[in-house]
Structure 1
């Protein structure tokens, strides 16, 4: 993105931003990386926090209750940030669509809205939206979306087992499901079509860019004439978008940062081989 370098910071230090954007946490599912998100929230704060949909997975909770302590801790952590003064804005997605009946309401200091226009520190304006309205499958064939959700949940289940084994062997988090998705040509083509459709909507609103979620593909670019920023998710990529005090945006890959912190000490401990 011209003028917006893709950055990944190194040190696990406390960082304060003008705004923070999180999407697709999917609390209530076994695939949710709640521990990584709690670690992220420990080091990252902002004046305004946008929850860009699918924070809670109502689809999965209806079919079977799953709510471990770490998921409750995430909710409490977010509410605590609100009590400490952060403005909290919740834009429900398709998996937490039950909250769409409460647009305009406030819950524990959290505003529930359909869309938002975020004005950055540099004066540029961004449409904030979950993005499922641009997913034709979700809009017009919900039964097919549920079928896809089942297959996706199976892949995430495999992802959970793979990472359990990796932890036992001392390896950091890695997303099998994300790797597989990006190897499928149809999925890659869908991502491109989705990004273009969202960019068209941003131009219709006469804004400078769009910040969204939904497709679990974290990225920032200007490929369609406006700035496109996707928060990613906390199931596969474990990423978030932040705005610095000068209006500059950054995509933080917390899984990669954590992986780097895990691997670096191992490299230092590796015994030297004589020449």
Structure 2
């Protein structure tokens, strides 16, 4: 039974089909929340990884089943493809199992603010102009995520909570910090160009809600590092929900376990 109710939820960068996907956290999240509207903001399925070998464990299948069930039960589900699932961009305007595919969307919050919703890879010059560089970087990133998973396995054994080493390193490396800043500025410029009050995106795996000169920039984060979602409450307020802080330990993929939870909203606006 869902215990958290929101007007809107945004999820991105789940990367189903990859070993980095934290499907156990995501499934736990999906079973605990309900919303009137759910946006899937790109890189939900990682076709780049699936091309190199099939990987689709039971928990990832349960994630898809849960989303389809929400759509069947009345949740409006909008899928905005990203670069890892760009295959679905050929089906913009179509509806599959109650899930509508769109290139981008305009979302109006309960308090009347208008937000442009898109994945954001079209504002990443590396993805747009040097895809082979992005692929090489992706392999190095995958290795870091594998290390991160084992790192957190031993942290749990020692009684410590989940902590993303990969996210920490990314935020400390100067080039990565500069890239993130340039990306954010490009998205804010696009929001101004389209005459909206804010923008909601994914792609760079850095969850945040920040005001840039009157434009609210919101990034949903990801489910391979930080396990975050952007949510809108009944009053129209936006917040980042860090689910890795809610689930104390990872669920074993072969034996689901009960989880003691704590509820904490951060980055409220």
TM-score, length of structure 1 as denominator length: 0.88
Aligned residues of 2:161 and 2:245 also touching (Cα < 8 A): no
Measured in 2, the distance between the counterparts of 1:189 and 1:73 equals 37
Superposed counterparts of 1:169-208, under 5 Å: 169-208=158-197
Measured in 1, the distance between the counterparts of 2:102 and 2:261 equals 41
The structural deviation recorded for 1:65 is 1.0
Q: Which runs of 5+ in 2 are unaligned?
A: 250-258, 263-269
Aligned residues of 1:14 and 1:43 also touching (Cα < 8 A): yes
Q: What's the CA shift string for 1:224-257, capped at 9, x where partnerless?
A: 4300000000011111011111111111111123
Q: Please state whether the residue corresponding to 2:247 is helix, strand or coil.
A: helix
- Which residue is equivalent to 1:17? 6
- Which residue is equivalent to 1:255? 244
Aligned length: 253
- Which residue is equivalent to 1:85? 74
Tell me if 1:228 matches 2:217: yes
Tell me if 1:95 matches 2:84: yes
Q: Please state whether the residue corresponding to 1:28 is helix, strand or coil.
A: coil
The structural deviation recorded for 1:262 is 6.8
Aligned residues of 1:172 and 1:258 also touching (Cα < 8 A): no
Measured in 1, the distance between the counterparts of 2:208 and 2:136 equals 26
Q: What's the CA shift string for 1:189-240, capped at 9, x where partnerless?
A: 1111100100000111100100000000000011243000000000111110
Out of 153, 163, 168, the residue aligned to residue 142 of structure 2 is 153
Aligned residues of 2:6 and 2:232 also touching (Cα < 8 A): yes
Q: Which runs of 5+ in 1 are unaligned?
A: 1-11, 265-275
After superposition, the CA RMSD in angstroms is 1.8
Aligned residues of 1:30 and 1:160 also touching (Cα < 8 A): no
Aligned residues of 2:246 and 2:261 also touching (Cα < 8 A): no
Does the C-alpha gap of structure 1 residues 210 and 263 become closer, same or farther in structure 2, counting only changes over 3 Å? closer
Tell me if 1:68 matches 2:42: no
